[in-house]
Structure 1
């Protein structure tokens, strides 16, 4: 078991509860994104024991962060939304150099790579213009159609969580079930948690194979798309002109520093 993954998972889980911030983005910061995709894809191979040794501690960390820190994140977003989002903004900006260096873009990127990168920026950045409104949590017992919708919501969110720059929680917000999912976790509504969890597992299994195939056969095109997604997520996370410029600049620098230090520790 790679027990070091518990703290990595906690960092990923913390980001997953923030709409607009992707757990896949944090995996890039930590230098484990390629390994994560390989492990997800390898669960159904002969090396499944080795891959579970990587994934189980990561899942423990993610689950612990979601259960233990979701209230803290909610508190920070409710009372210090802009400084909190500027911290995550700093994290996102800070990983872009890591991605470009990993792809060795000066040597490997051509015109077509930059076109894909730009398209990815525009596609993810356009999510910032969607009006999410204020969806309400579903109360009481659910109908069969609502359980089916929750299943596919978990499926969609899990596929998004594996992609840097695409936030699973933000997509849940867009389709109107984010409060329902968060409420199910915080109130331990096991029927809803099981249905969502099944959707998450199936979504991860299917999307993991697809992403792994792309990295193996089209690595630089894939890095171009992933880098574009991360850049595009800046527009999604940006909370607007800060009311407290000094505090937001401090948290922004804190996010940049955290990305640098995490990257330095993990890549060395």
Structure 2
């Protein structure tokens, strides 16, 4: 019964990661870190090694499945896929029609999470502080990068998948936003909508290669330099607030493949400046409520996780 409950919770956490990965600016890695499955996720990914792959080649499927923590990965993967295919339209609608409460919610969620994660650091040092600053500054500048045009070739789709998946497991750095920078966000989303399985297969292969390589780097850093790595990851989350800020003005537009005008470059504004420059209601109270809801959701998840550990 406990194992069933555990995998249902993992499935729900996967849904949270999938929902976050749809939004350019929010990282699925942040959700994994918030919900306490980040290190287990890395360990499970790293278990895809030569020894365990030999089990697969010998057709020892059951042994292979348990060796790679299959029940956990399957629950998580099903949750991620559920969100990607069921919530993509909802989140796209929210981004288009109700961006202020959506981004405010994520701001609250990410901000409180970064500070909660810093609580895991038992011993602070100059190195941890420097890592925190570097992470914050790096994420800030990454979110300032403008989207670019990119080749339509499959090799670039593979490369984009390998790079984006690295960002998806880095808290604070959004894989979707990296795809946007590389000019592959819309083509990949279109491939999902149009069931273009060739493009999706090449993209998925790039993701697998990037994931298996990069997860080992992060695991090694957490094992050798835990506090510094946690400081760096928290910094990434804090720096990503620049991208999540709810009140923005579009300074440049781009034309999508369907001929639709899409925001290309944006600039952050204070709520009163937003009203002055756009003439639109800043919906400050709604933004504050959504921001507080994001904070309360994370605190609730943390309390619930602590309760499950005790029970």
- Whether the TM-score (by the shorter chain) exceeds 0.5 is yes
1:142-221 matches, within 5 Å, as 146-221=153-228
- Name the CA distance, whole Å, in 2 between partners of 1:129 and 1:163: 17
- Name the CA distance, whole Å, in 2 between partners of 1:93 and 1:147: 37
How far has the Cα of 1:128 moved from its partner? 3.0
Alignment RMSD: 1.8
Question: Quick check: which one's helix share is greater?
Answer: 1
Q: Is the 8 A contact 2:19 2:88 kept in 1?
A: yes
How far has the Cα of 1:113 moved from its partner? 1.4
Which of 34, 37, 43 is equivalent to 2:48?
43
Q: Is the 8 A contact 1:127 1:236 kept in 2?
A: no
Residues 1:90 and 2:105 aligned together? no
How far has the Cα of 1:193 moved from its partner? 0.7
Structure number with bigger Rg: 2
Question: Quick check: which one's strand share is greater?
Answer: 2
- Name the CA distance, whole Å, in 1 between partners of 2:74 and 2:208: 13
- Name the CA distance, whole Å, in 2 between partners of 1:266 and 1:43: 28
- Name the CA distance, whole Å, in 1 between partners of 2:124 and 2:295: 25
Residues 1:23 and 2:28 aligned together? yes
TM-score for the superposition, normalised by structure 2: 0.78
Structure 1 unaligned spans of 5+: none
- Name the CA distance, whole Å, in 1 between partners of 2:8 and 2:295: 26
How far has the Cα of 1:195 moved from its partner? 0.7
How far has the Cα of 1:239 moved from its partner? 2.8
The residue that corresponds to 1:252 in the other structure is 291
The residue that corresponds to 1:121 in the other structure is 136
The residue that corresponds to 1:63 in the other structure is 81
Question: Cα deviation per residue 1:22-51 (whole Å; 9 max; x = unaligned)?
Answer: 000011111111111111112325585242
The residue that corresponds to 1:80 in the other structure is 98
Structure with more relative contact order (C-alpha pairs < 8 Å, separation 6 or more): 1
Q: Is the 8 A contact 2:132 2:234 kept in 1?
A: yes
Q: Is the 8 A contact 2:161 2:205 kept in 1?
A: yes
Q: Is the 8 A contact 1:31 1:267 kept in 2?
A: no
Aligned residue pairs: how many? 257
The residue that corresponds to 1:10 in the other structure is 15
Please give the secondary structure, in 2, of the residue aligned with 1:102. Answer: coil
Q: Is the 8 A contact 2:115 2:234 kept in 1?
A: no
How far has the Cα of 1:97 moved from its partner? 2.7
